Amino acid sequence: MQKSFNGANIHIVGMARSGMAAAEVLSALGAALTLHDAKEASALTDAIDLAERLGAKICCGSAAYQGIEGADAVIRSPGVPLGSPGLAKASALGIEIIPEIELAYRISPAPIIAITGTNGKTTTTALTGEMVRRSGRNTFIAGNIVAGNIRLPLVKAAFNASPNDCIVAEISSFQLESITSFRPKVAMLLNISGDHMDRYSNIEEYALAKARIFECQTDDDFGLINADNPAAMRCASAVRSRLLTFSRSHKVCRGTFARGTEIWWADEDGERFICDTKNMKLRGAHNLENALAAAAAAVAVGVEPSAVQSAVDSFNPPEHRLEPVAEIGGVEFINNSMCTNVDASVASLAAIQRPAVVIAGGKDKGSDYTELGRAFALHAKHVVLIGVDAPVIEHAARAAGFNRISHAQSLEDAVRQAWVLAEPGDTVILSPGCASFDMFQDFEHRGRVFKSAVAELKAGVEEKG
């Protein structure tokens, strides 16, 4: 769906990563740009440098939304809530508000596989992209994904794609708010569990935001849902396209299912074998679900089983997601910094097959930690807590009967404590179950600090010999 922006007066609200990507693309398309951000200029130096190179007008700080009434359209960065002053002003004036992913869809000549859900998005997006790529098709992995060198905004992928290419995109609930025509060829909902309760009033509102991924599809498209996740399946009524499901617990009518370590496809023509996951490097039942979802999307767009198998066999865990870091004196260290909610932490702990010393804690997002406390009781040898909400997590753990708990003032201290507590054959895992912003810039920063602390520990142990 192409739309010309040449000569249009476009205002962008939010000068973070996706907002600036939209600015670069719209500048190349000939738009006249004004960029808005509530932050002061001193906090936006890199973005302001880019904006000046693009010839854009900049409104920030106390003048953040000056002149927005003159916009032909407003591009909304996903981190900016719909009720923010600039967007509220534009809406009241009847100015069209376009999310970044909506802009991407409007300019993209290539089909989009869009993947959302509470957990597993990045792994599934990267694995799906690898399956499509191994089929011989030029593939862009893009969207909300941040994993190592993979950090391509969807609007840039859309601008650079050709009609025969494929875009595989991780999509957040924030990005789906206010879409009007975003129509992926395959729309995938991996799961729904409590997260971002600091942005949404309840889980139902959060689920409705996620289910918008299906809203603009037609019967030429595919909607894919996790049959093992009841909250996700309640969104099936929103699917207007051809419904596919995936399950690791039972055969499905149309989609993928697990038979032991094997992934099979089922439809009205019967069943067929797709691949075997016995050599897959991804750990845990939750990653089998991710592989089932990726395989279903790949088969839906015509990828052959041989390409699916090749991708499954060779795919490595993305950075900060059950990422092996080192082994020191027989103790394995795993970086799972991307684990920012309770369900992700519970699934990750279940995937660890050795006695585990767990480093957890951070900033709460309105979560209920009851299940995390129970997971500690089931899977943890000891827990070292960090962060502002450590007392809340400790309360949940003790309520579950788990009392082997200590506290650390820093992540470096937590790594040292965990090493003392661990024995050969154990695993030390950073599995926070919380956001990172109380102590770190983001989850990547947290993961890098963990890896640096492990490296320093290893060097010290080896030096002592």
- Considering only residues 195 and 314, tell me which one the structure prediction assigns the higher pLDDT: 314
CB 361 within 8 A of CB 373: no
Radius of gyration of the chain (CA): 23
Q: What is the mean pLDDT of residues 37-62?
A: 95
The architecture that CATH gives domain 9-97 is 3-Layer(aba) Sandwich (3.40)
Please state, in angstroms and as integers, the Cα–Cα distance from residue 427 to each residue in 56, 339, 357, 391, 393, following that order. 51, 16, 6, 24, 21
Per-residue pLDDT tens over the stretch 433-465: 999 999 999 999 999 999 999 999 999 998 886
User: pLDDT-based confidence at 1, cuts 50/70/90?
Assistant: very low
Which pLDDT score, from 0 to 100, does residue 196 have? 54
Q: Give residue 380's pLDDT band: very low, low, confident or very high (50, 70, 90).
A: very high
Q: Closest Cα partner for 348 from 403, 287, 423?
A: 287
pLDDT surpassing 80 at residue 258: yes
- For CATH 3.40.50.720, list the domain ranges present in the chain: 9-97
State the span(s) of the chain assigned CATH 3.90.190.20: 323-464
Distances (CA, A) of 235 to 11, 363, 370: 34, 29, 25
Write down the architecture of domain 108-314 according to CATH: 3-Layer(aba) Sandwich (3.40)
The two tokens of residue 379 are 């899977």
Contacts of 220 (CB under 8 A, 6+ apart): 241
Residues 327-363: tens digit of each pLDDT = 999 999 999 998 988 988 998 999 898 999 999 999 9
CA-CA distance, 103 to 33, in Å (whole number)?
15
What pLDDT does residue 189 have?
98
- Structure-block tokens of residue 177: 């708010």
Phi then psi dihedrals of residue 236, to 5 deg = -60, -30
Instruction: Label residue 220 by pLDDT band (50, 70, 90).
Output: very high
The residue-averaged pLDDT of 240-268 equals 97
The pLDDT of residue 365 is 80
Return the CATH class of domain 323-464.
Answer: alpha beta
418 or 1, greater pLDDT: 418
Question: What does pTM read for this prediction?
Answer: 0.84
